[in-house]
Chain A
Amino acid sequence: MKKIILSLTIVFICFVVVIFSLGLKTKKIYDTKDLVGKPIPLIDLKLLNSEKTFKTSDLKKNDFTLINFWASWCAPCRKEHKYLIQLSKDLKILGVNFKDDKQKANKFIKKLGNPYNLIATDKDGKKSIYFGVYGIPETILVDKELKIIKKYIGPINENDVKKILKIINN
């Protein structure tokens, strides 16, 4: 009896130590990668420069759509802008202008170019919650069924561009 308890205790403690040492290596920054594979919500979005609204279900007509959350006040958005322009040649991009001022947003586009086929606005940031966004820039690649294939938190880079192109060309 004593021996059984002893060996069980030792096995248990070893298990805990192994878990803890593995735990040291896990990433501490939370991301919403769990959303990959799930569809985006079917909601209406206001457009930035017109009174019309836009239904996300309309994106079904594209094979692939890139949804990019951005704002003129966000410095990393500036950094990723040229990659979006590069991507805009190959796929449709929906820009969601996040908690921003209309004039400043337009100025930003005028200065850096417009990669977006459509610009929707989310002035109070509430709509973005439906997409699981928590900080911009965020970029979501969806397919015909509106399923999320890729999700990028933070600015996209050259590598990401290559990966996205590879996905849509297959």
Chain B
Amino acid sequence: MNKIKVFITILLAFNIYFSDLLSEEKINNQIYKNLRCIVCQGQSIADSNSDFAQTIKSVVNDKLSEGMNEKEVYHFLSEKYGDWILFDPPVKKKTYLLWSLPYIFFVIGGIAILFIFKKVLKHKKY
């Protein structure tokens, strides 16, 4: 039993050690997917066949070869087109609630469940 536990720990550690925490997908494609094609209906730059999407793609490629990183590319484009162009809404004052509300509700739900079972525990005492 204990041997197996040790083994599991080693394997998990091994998994974590070899993980890059970041996906290795090609950076260009990943950026395209995170940009809205603002002249289309809800498509991403990666998905769109439009002229606008083609231009944005080549600008992104230029910027990357100029040495910008992913974040800087997003920043550059959101300065020109607003946060509307980013599918991954940046954490800002206006998105604090967006990013926190799901977790807040999750905690509230947890507390409610705890509340139910606390009653139970008191009743049964075990």
Tally of contact residues, B, Cβ under 8 A? 15
Q: Chain B interface mostly helix, strand, loop or mixed?
A: helix
Annotate A107-143 by CB proximity to B: 1 below 8 A, 0 otherwise. Answer: 0000000000000000011101111101100000000
* One of B51, B55, B81 near A126 (C-beta < 8 A): B55
Looking across the interface, which residue of chain B has its beta carbon closest to that of A38?
B79
Q: In the complex, which range does the number of interface residues on chain A fall in?
A: 10 to 19
The interface-forming segment of A8-16, A29-37, A57-65, A87-95 is: A29-37
Q: Distance in Å from the Cβ of B101 to the closest Cβ of chain A?
A: 13
Known contacts being A124-B58, A125-B55, is A134 close to B82, with CB within 8 Å? Answer: no
Annotate B59-73 by CB proximity to A: 1 below 8 A, 0 otherwise. Answer: 100100000000000
Interface residues of B (CB under 8 A from A): 38-39, 51-52, 55-56, 58-59, 62, 77, 79-82, 84
Interface residues of A (CB under 8 A from B): 30, 32, 34-35, 38, 99, 124-126, 128-132, 134-135
